[in-house]
Amino acid sequence: MGRSSGGSGRKVFRRVSKRKDIEKQWRKGTARWQYAGEGETEGDTLDRKLGAPRQGQLVNEEREREALVVQTGGPDILLQDGSEFKKARPRRSTTTENEDATLVAIGDIVRYEDMGEDEGVITHVFERDSFLLRTSIRDAEYAQVLVANVDQVIVTVAATDELLRPGLIDRYLVAAAMGGLEAHICINKIDLPDEEDREFVEDIATMYRDLDYIVVLTSCITGEGLDELRELLHEKLSVLSGHSGVGKTSILNLLIPELDEKTAELSDQSQRGMHTTTRSTLYELPEGGFIADTPGIREFGLFQFDADDLHSYFPEFVHFSGGCRFPSCTHTHEPDCAVKDAVEREEIHPLRYRNYLQILESEDDT
């Protein structure tokens, strides 16, 4: 995995230097301290009864190994070290290079100590090269990391009135750009709409294709678009993410014919059953590459974005914004705004502009 553990064989004291408010993440329970920090999903509750949080840990670097986090979302985290799997948990003194965010996420590279019998203790989490995150549903000052260190996110929606939500798509596109990820769009269940509704779906797809996003229309019933999706995923580290009910699990079952077998293997390793809607899991694709399956989300808040920079994540806005009278134009109320003029001329799609305003308003509400 390309990161040095620096194994000198001697015990060193590694200070918890980048976990702000670590004391606040722990609450005094009945006789003991318990973790009250962020879980991996909406339904994931943590109640790790441990001693009072320390400010550092004594580690034996010779015993530390590196591993990839391939499953999260339950009381145990599953690590892959070469061909071996290890159940693991972080310590309250686990160090991290990722400030104010989920401590361990799927796709993370970590150091751990092998405790024998396929178990380990996570001692350190390396800095993430890329990430997809949202504002925690419990704490607006905290980032929930959905996945780390992947190449691209496939924003997955469905061709139904309830689940084809361009506003959600645009939030994902902004979050992906902020996290250093490429973003593409998959509109699944394309077999469901009638001819009139299919035309609407095609219009939405055209809106994003005109902005140079790749849009794939798929159906797990007819097989439409699945070969195009496989080509998009080939030899990449990808993540499928989207609203609950859009068919991510059905897509995975077709992309990975032996998915049930792989799921059973991981469940055996963790000694717990895996439910696809509550755990995040990283799978190897038959044609090469890896894909992360993440739980469906109900809401997606952008984490601490700068409202003044939001327009820079809308490429069509950037094209026109140089013509605005004011360099700091927010494209909302200012006179002589070239972006608003482009919206009036429909050179910027009105739906995209509306989504931009809604994101700004959501920031004002936080």
pLDDT at 332: 96
> Which of the listed residues 269, 293, 317 is the one where a domain comes to its end?
293
Flag whether 76 is in a domain.
yes
Judged on CB neighbours under 10 Å (0-12, 13-18, 19+), 34 is middle
| 9-24 burial code (b ≥16 CB/10 A, e <16) | eeeeebebeebeebee
pLDDT at 36: 46
Q: Return the top range by mean pLDDT from 139-148, 162-171, 301-310.
A: 162-171
Q: Looking at the structure, do residues 284 and 328 belong to the same domain, yes or no?
A: no
Nearest to 46 by CA among 27, 20, 69: 27
Contact between 91 and 57 under an 8 Å Cβ cutoff? The reply is: yes
Q: Looking at the structure, do residues 185 and 167 belong to the same domain, yes or no?
A: yes
Residue 188's alpha-carbon distances to 168, 173, 340, in angstroms, are: 15, 17, 32
Taking the C-alpha atoms of residue 179 and residue 346, their distance in angstroms, rounded to an integer, is 30
- Is pLDDT at 132 greater than 90 in this prediction? yes
Give 320-353 pLDDT, tens digit per residue.
999 999 999 999 999 999 999 999 999 999 999 9
pLDDT at 20: 46
Return the CA Rg of the chain: 22
| Structural domain containing residue 317 | 307-365
pLDDT band at 211 (very low <50, low <70, confident <90, very high): very high
The two tokens of residue 11 are: 């015990």
pLDDT band at 91 (very low <50, low <70, confident <90, very high): confident
- Is pLDDT at 304 greater than 60 in this prediction? yes
Contact between 58 and 267 under an 8 Å Cβ cutoff? The reply is: no
Q: Looking at the structure, do residues 237 and 187 belong to the same domain, yes or no?
A: yes
Q: State CA 273 to chain mean position distance.
A: 22
pLDDT at 59: 62
Flag whether 318 is in a domain.
yes
Give 71-82 pLDDT, tens digit per residue.
998 778 999 999
pTM flag (> 0.85): no
Taking the C-alpha atoms of residue 9 and residue 12, their distance in angstroms, rounded to an integer, is 9
Q: How many domains does the chain have?
A: 3
Give the residue, 54 or 167, on which the prediction is more confident: 167
- Is pLDDT at 152 greater than 70 in this prediction? yes
CATH of residue 316's domain is 1.10.40.50
Q: Looking at the structure, do residues 287 and 215 belong to the same domain, yes or no?
A: yes
CB-CB neighbours of 236 under 10 Å: 16
Q: Looking at the structure, do residues 162 and 258 belong to the same domain, yes or no?
A: yes
Please give the average per-residue pLDDT across 86-104, as a whole number: 88
Q: Looking at the structure, do residues 176 and 246 belong to the same domain, yes or no?
A: yes
